[in-house]
Structure 1
């Protein structure tokens, strides 16, 4: 064995310096390292999000029962407008006006959000996080458009009118709002993450709910978009963890300003999911499909379910990053039972030996 191939034991057991190639190659890959644990968590969350997108799409878009219920959600909005004395033409005109308002609001919000995300990242000097945040927004929008236009169709299984048979899965408007919220998770400091993301999540949830209430999207479109954004964000976070861009955050008492926004978000998640699910079951399986009250109950179930799902996705993303600071140098990692040679790097502490 050549001298430079010997296992060396001299040197002191010093921690590996974060950011070096030794850290990335050895410490960052250690099973018990913080980066590895965060990366594993994000991979699991990414896989779960993708599976949930597939379940929502298959259950509500590729089955006749799901299509009838979502069509009833849209018809219920028109029915509510007719029962309060509004004509059919007036109801359709109001829905069209609401859709136009939502279109302009979303475009304006996207432009402002991109500027804000870039400004926060640049001011903090977190260029990798800025790229990841903008990539989350752009990647979510591109994926939503590609899936909607080319990959995920909506076969007409119930003979619905052409207006109700159009494919809108996943929702592009909801993807805009949810991706801005996810991008904010990446660029804001850990101390401000809770209240900043909570406020943005409330806005994002309101946008998704309004798209369903206005008849612009079905519940599956909005829920699928929220889960799609969660998958994209978890993918970027896994990459950042792989590069050693995560560290344990210094935690203290939860600030009151954080509770002011996260508690209402939790209330929306619990109440929306429970109420929406109960109304969904009632309108889909309990009542007779010919019952005239089905569209009204379905229309009530749709926005409630969407609001609960949007708030739950935001809370889940915050929970996945609990005590995780993104974009900072991680603490040096000390390899167990190893020593570090300044020239050779970390090697097992074994005596020199020759291989015969």
Structure 2
């Protein structure tokens, strides 16, 4: 510090460890344009934008008659899609494998976090996953929607958003935070593709509409963007070195390809499927087209969510080593601080000062 800083009267020295930079880290973390501020700003904006997009999806696919008719056609069209019917008939064990993969994914998330001794981070990630599931349950139960009755006259429960997709994608995003930074890209790629496959299976079996999958992906993305904002606020995010280009392309290119192809094909087919008549009978070819359109859109939105999270957390390490700070300048040198090239703490070697 400066040479005119006063010693504290009857002050107790704060023990410093090697590389202890808590004072400077606290100041720099709140400064305009600092690393934590930049990460917090972009994740907060992404969270708000995702919530807005979720509102648009909800209004378009649940509250409008056209959106509900398209969702019903996509759900009914699974029976007209011979590829989906053949796959489910020849592989009946897919139901058990889907449930088992969800259980193993949650167990893997906890195991990785505990084995790496990231106890606080694992708790934050688990809380984010539980929050995503809780929001999904609340939307299913209390979100306003038209009354839908089954043939027996009982009220059908809403599947908006999908619990399976929320759990799968939330587990994938949680693993992306607890694994080492160098493995984040491949983790997001594998986890997002797995979550997309789980969602596609639920649509093919008639458990959910494509809109339920898209809403679940947006819920998870909003919650984990909020988690990243909280971690940046607490100073848990540190700058990471630039990853090698092949590693970046290995994760980003497949996700971008799936997102582009899925969204492009889905929107291209959407124009034809929205022109369905208001009442039955429907052409089986139109129903099959609606089913494939929904599957493409759901896969595209899921892949885009994974790619966006990977982009928001680029060069961001969670619970990394503190950024080194050095003291410099004529006042510090006059106070007897170490020379350039040596890491020091927030105070001089006297270690008991009060800032004037």
TM range (shorter): 0.7 to 0.9
CA contact (8 A) 1:280 1:298 kept: yes
Residue aligning to 1:29: 30
Q: Give, in whole Å, the separation in 2 of the partners of 1:187 and 1:111.
A: 18
1:97-124 deviations in Å (ceiling 9; x for gaps):
96x954x444422332222222222232
Q: Of residues 117, 133, 144 in structure 2, which corresponds to 1:125?
A: 117
Displacement of 1:79: 3.4
The answer (yes or no) to whether the contact 1:245–1:327 under 8 Å persists in 2 is yes
Q: Which residue of 131, 138, 141 maps to 2:130? A: 138
Give matches, 1:54-93, under 5 Å: 54-80=55-81
* Gap runs ≥5 in structure 1: 1-7, 12-16, 85-90, 348-356
CA distance in 2, matches of 1:303, 1:280: 11
| Conservation of the 8 A alpha-carbon contact between 1:74 and 1:218 | yes
Q: Is 2:302 the partner of 1:310?
A: yes
The equivalent of 1:352 in structure 2 is: none
Q: Residue 335 and residue 315 in structure 1: after superposition, are their counterparts in 2 closer, same or farther (change >3 A)? A: farther
Taking a change above 3 Å as real, the CA distance of residues 344 and 221 of structure 1, as seen in their structure-2 partners, is farther
Instruction: Name the structure 1 match of 2:49.
Output: 48
2:180 equivalent in structure 1: 189
Do the aligned partners of 1:222 and 1:306 also contact (CA within 8 Å) in 2? yes
Structure 1 residues 36 and 165, CA, compared in 2 at 3 Å: closer, same or farther? same
Aligned with 2:162 (options 159, 171, 179): 171
How far the C-alpha of 1:280 sits from its partner, in A, is 1.2
CA distance, structure 2, for counterparts of residue 118 and residue 80 of structure 1: 38
CA distance in structure 2 between the partners assigned to 1:255 and 1:110 by the alignment:
30
Q: CA deviation at 1:166?
A: 4.0
1:323 CA drift (Å): 1.0
Q: How does 1:290-309 map to 2 (within 5 A)?
A: 292=283, 293-309=285-301
TM-score scaled to structure 2, two decimals? Answer: 0.79
**Secondary structure in 2 aligned to 1:325?**
strand
Counting matched residue pairs gives: 319
Whether 1:268 aligns to 2:269 is: no
- Deviation of 1:142 after TM superposition, in Å, equals 1.9
Q: Is the 8 A contact 2:147 2:155 kept in 1?
A: no
User: Given the superposition, is the C-alpha separation of residues 333 and 110 from structure 1 closer, same or farther in structure 2, using an over 3 Å criterion?
Assistant: farther
**1:225 pairs with 2:211:** no
2:22 corresponds to: 20
User: Among 229, 241, 258, which residue is 1:238 paired with?
Assistant: 229
Matches within 5 A, 1:312-331: 312-331=304-323
Does the 8 A contact of 1:73 with 1:298 survive in 2? yes
193, 197, 204: which one aligns with 1:206: 197
- 2:337 corresponds to: none
Query: 1:123 and 1:68 mapped to 2: Cα distance?
Result: 48
* TM-score (normalizing by structure 1): 0.79
Kept in 2, the 8 Å contact 1:210–1:303? The answer is no
SS at match of 1:148: helix
Deviates more, 1:262-271 or 1:161-170: 161-170
